[in-house]
Amino acid sequence: MRPRRRWLVAPIGFAAGMVLVSQVSPTRQEGLSFAQYRARVEPIFIAPRGGHGPGMSPCATCHVSSGTPLRLQPLQEDGSGGVFWSEEQSRRNFDVVSRLVVPGQPERSRLLRKALAVQAGGAPFHVGGKFFESQADPEWQIMANWVRAAGTSPDPAAAETSPPPLDFEFFRTCVQQVFLNKRQGRMECVHCHGGGSRGFARTLPEGRAFWNLEESRRNFEVLRRYVDPGYPLSSRFLTHPLAPEAGGDHFHSGGRRWFSRDDPEWQMLAAWVRGEASTCLSY
Ligand code: HEC
Ligand code: HEC
pLDDT tens track for 201-243: 999 999 999 999 999 999 999 999 999 888 888 899 999 999 9
State how far Cα 184 lies from the chain centre: 27
83-84 and 76-77 strand pairing: antiparallel
H or E segment to which residue 90 belongs:
helix 87-98
- Tell me, what's the pLDDT at 1? 44
| Mutational test site, ligand 2, from 253, 258, 266, 269, max ligand atoms within 8 Å of CB | 253
Instruction: Using the atom order of ligand 1, give the atom closest to the CA of residue 132.
Output: 38
Share of the chain above pLDDT 90, in %: 58
- Tell me, what's the pLDDT at 29? 61
Instruction: Using the atom order of ligand 1, give the atom closest to the CA of residue 61.
Output: 5
pTM greater than 0.75: no
What single-letter DSSP state applies at residue 6? G
Minimum CA distance residue for ligand 1 atom 15: 127
Question: What is the Å distance from ligand 1's center to 89 Cα?
Answer: 19
Residue type at position 80: S
Tell whether the model's pLDDT for residue 10 goes beyond 60.
Answer: no
| Mutational test site, ligand 1, from 70, 228, 231, max ligand atoms within 8 Å of CB | 70
Instruction: Using the atom order of ligand 1, give the atom closest to the CA of residue 127.
Output: 18
Nearest to 50 by CA among 15, 82, 5, 115: 5
Measured from CB, residues less than 6 Å from any atom of ligand 1 are 53-54, 57, 59, 61-63, 68-70, 100, 110-111, 114-115, 125-128, 131
Measured from CB, residues less than 6 Å from any atom of ligand 2 are 187, 189, 191-193, 198, 226, 236-237, 240-241, 251-254, 257
Q: What CA–CA distance (Å, rounded) separates 25 from 57?
A: 27
**Residue 55: pLDDT band by 50, 70, 90 thresholds?**
confident
Minimum CA distance residue for ligand 1 atom 40: 59
Ligand approaching nearest to the C-alpha of 59: 1
Find all residues with CB under 8 Å of 125, minimum gap 6, and list them: none
CB-CB contact of 135 with 141 (8 Å): yes
Average pLDDT on 157-178 reads 81
Least confident of 37-51, 54-68, 133-147, 149-163: 149-163
Tell me the domain boundaries of the chain.
Answer: 6-154, 168-273
